[in-house]
Amino acid sequence: MKKIIAIYPGTFDPVTNGHLDIIERASELFNEVVVSIAVNQNKIPMFEKEERLDMLENVTRHLNNVKVDSFEGLLVWYAEKMNANVMIRGLRAVSDFEYEFQMSLTNKKLNPEINTIFMMPNEKYTYLNSSLVRELASYNANVEEFIPPYVMKKLKDKFGY
């Protein structure tokens, strides 16, 4: 059978337990999962690309078929370069749907061979996103239950709490 390589793209600023939930389940479904940081020159992230790569590498170390990478430009081009046949996106709520629907159809036009697969996280993570974590952490609020311990350590270093 054909080897299925899946790309999981995102900003991961920083990686949360919601992302990790998707990554862990994807690693059981696909032969190889490449979690890849989409570098967007117009967005100023809280964590540098290298810091985000380091956090992703640390929290996925236990998953042998998961690799971490970054890319610039169109996702479909990157997927082609990586010989990927699947792109994974997370769906948390109905509000995610409209944008994801448009993206997925556009990507299908660009390359009909690559399928977008939507995955829902465990319900306890459905409200969680990285900007919520950044906002709470900027007020020194406790975000321990939302992120892996290694990310917590990095946030503490950044905000000094």
Strand, coil or helix: 6: strand
Please give the single-letter amino acid code of residue 99: Y
Determine the Cα–Cα distance for residues 108 and 1; give it in Å rounded to an integer: 23
The residue range among 28-36, 46-54, 57-65, 122-130 that interacts with ligand ADP, by the rule CB under 6 A, is 122-130
Q: Is 19 in the site for ligand ADP (CB under 6 A)?
A: yes
| Helix (H), strand (E) at residue 154 | helix 149-159
What tokens were used for 34? 């490449």
92 carries an active-site annotation: yes
Active site residue 138: no
Residue 1 Cβ vs ligand ADP, minimum distance, rounded to whole Å: 26
Q: How far is CA 84 from the centre of its chain?
A: 16
Is 121 a binding residue for ligand ADP by CB under 6 A? The answer is yes
Q: Hey, which residues are catalytic here? A: 19, 43, 92, 130
Which residues are near ligand ADP by CB under 6 A?
10-12, 16, 18-19, 22, 89-90, 92, 96, 121, 125, 128-131
